[in-house]
Amino acid sequence: MQYEVVGIVGCGLMGSGIAQVCAQAGCQTFVADVDERSIETGLDRIEKSLAKGVEKGKLKAEDVERIQTRLIATTKLDEFSKCDLVIEAVVENISVKRKIFEDLESIVRPDAVLASNTSSLCITELGTTSRRPDRFVGLHFFSPVPLMKLVEVVRGLSTSDETFAAVFNFVSQLGKEPVTAPDRPGFIANRLLIPYLLDAVRAYESGLGTVEDIDKTMTLGCGHPMGPFTLLDFIGIDTTYYISGIMYEEFRDPVYAAPPLLKRMVLAGRLGRKSGEGFYRY
């Protein structure tokens, strides 16, 4: 099974990145968002990313032109009737995601595969929205998508062997490294990462050190590319808070319980890089 025409729902940070790597891999790629402004912002992000690729010698100018001709932006999901595979990459909210899959169900071909880029939600549950649970799968890319090699491929209880194998192979064709992740909140990466980030916040609240000193300890002392607070700001304080809530609801383990400071920061609108202020100012 080959996926030559791909649709991406959402042109934000994740959606635009996924659209870029699909177009770079030779797929005709439709990318949709709610309005023209969101699309323009996403396409501008792709253009800047491709320009960096040329600057670093990873791409040629003629490559960029070919990639851009494969990208088709739209505000209407009707265009997705041509797609072999559609990947949802919108806000981490199950109601929003379910509504998108309900809308897609009457648009995409019966043999098309649907996938969610969720980082924490249950793939089996999302798949119940569709009349094709055997052709429903999780594809968790990592940010920034053009640079990060890993993709978690998540199989729901109803996902067929054929679908899983085809999607796993598709990820490899994108130049990414696929891993098989369980259909449990957080999959593999966030199951390990979220407790670490929450522990860093608790340590800061208890007076272990300043934000800067804790970050410096983990980068210079442990070799991490980012300290926990820099990473929290990059991921988004609200996203981390939301994911931790889903994981705590599933496991009832205190390691997944968000510290009070995270809730206060979300209420105050201090969401990290995207709002201009989190644990650091930008």
> Who contacts 278 (Cβ-Cβ below 8 Å, separation ≥6)?
229, 232, 233, 237, 265, 270, 271, 272
The gap from C-alpha 177 to its chain's centroid, in whole angstroms, comes to 15
Residue 86 · residue 22 · CB < 8 Å: no
Q: 5-181 has which CATH code?
A: 3.40.50.720
User: What is the structure's pLDDT at 1?
Assistant: 67
Rounded Cα–Cα distance for residues 196 and 259 (Å)? 12
Tell me, yes or no, if the two domains 5-181 and 191-273 fold the same way.
no
C-alpha distances in angstroms, 30 versus 6, 143, 197, 225?
6, 20, 35, 33
pLDDT score at 247 = 94
Of 16, 88, 116, 152, catalytic: 152
- Half-sphere exposure of residue 176: CA atoms within 13 angstroms, side-chain side: 30
Candidates 49, 119, 120, 130; catalytic one: 119
Give residue limits of the domains in the chain: 5-181, 191-273
The pLDDT tens digits for 65-89 are: 999 999 999 999 999 999 999 999 9
Q: Are 90 and 116 in contact (CB under 8 A)?
A: no
pLDDT attached to residue 84? 98
Burial of 107 (0-12, 13-18, 19+ CB in 10 A): middle
CA 41 from centroid of its chain's CA atoms: 17
Quick one: fold of 191-273?
A: N-(1-d-carboxylethyl)-l-norvaline Dehydrogenase; domain 2 (1.10.1040)
Q: What does the pLDDT read at residue 280?
A: 98
> Is 224 tagged catalytic?
no
CB 153 within 8 A of CB 178: yes
- For 200-207, which contacts have Cβ atoms below 8 Å and span 24 or more sequence positions? 200/228, 200/229, 200/232, 201/228, 201/232, 201/259, 201/261, 201/262, 202/259, 204/229, 204/261, 205/259, 205/260, 205/261
What's the burial of 249, exposed, middle or buried (CB within 10 Å: 0-12/13-18/19+)?
exposed
Residue 167 φ/ψ region, left for φ over 0, alpha for ψ in the -120 to 50 degree band, beta for the rest: alpha
pLDDT tens for the chain, 282 residues long, are: 689 999 999 999 999 999 999 999 999 999 999 999 999 999 999 999 999 999 999 999 999 999 999 999 999 999 999 999 999 999 989 999 999 999 999 999 999 999 999 999 999 999 999 999 999 999 999 999 999 999 999 999 999 999 999 999 999 999 999 999 999 999 999 999 999 999 999 999 999 999 999 999 999 999 999 999 999 999 999 999 999 999 999 999 999 999 999 999 999 999 999 999 999 999
- Is 119 assigned a catalytic role? yes
Which of the residues 38, 116, 130, 140 is marked catalytic? 140
pLDDT at residue 94, rounded to an integer: 92
Determine whether 117 is an active site residue: no
Please indicate whether residue 152 is annotated as part of the active site. Answer: yes
Give the full edge-to-edge strand order of the sheet including 136-141: 71-74, 28-32, 5-9, 85-88, 113-116, 136-141, 150-155, 177-181
Distance CA 259, CA 200 (A): 10
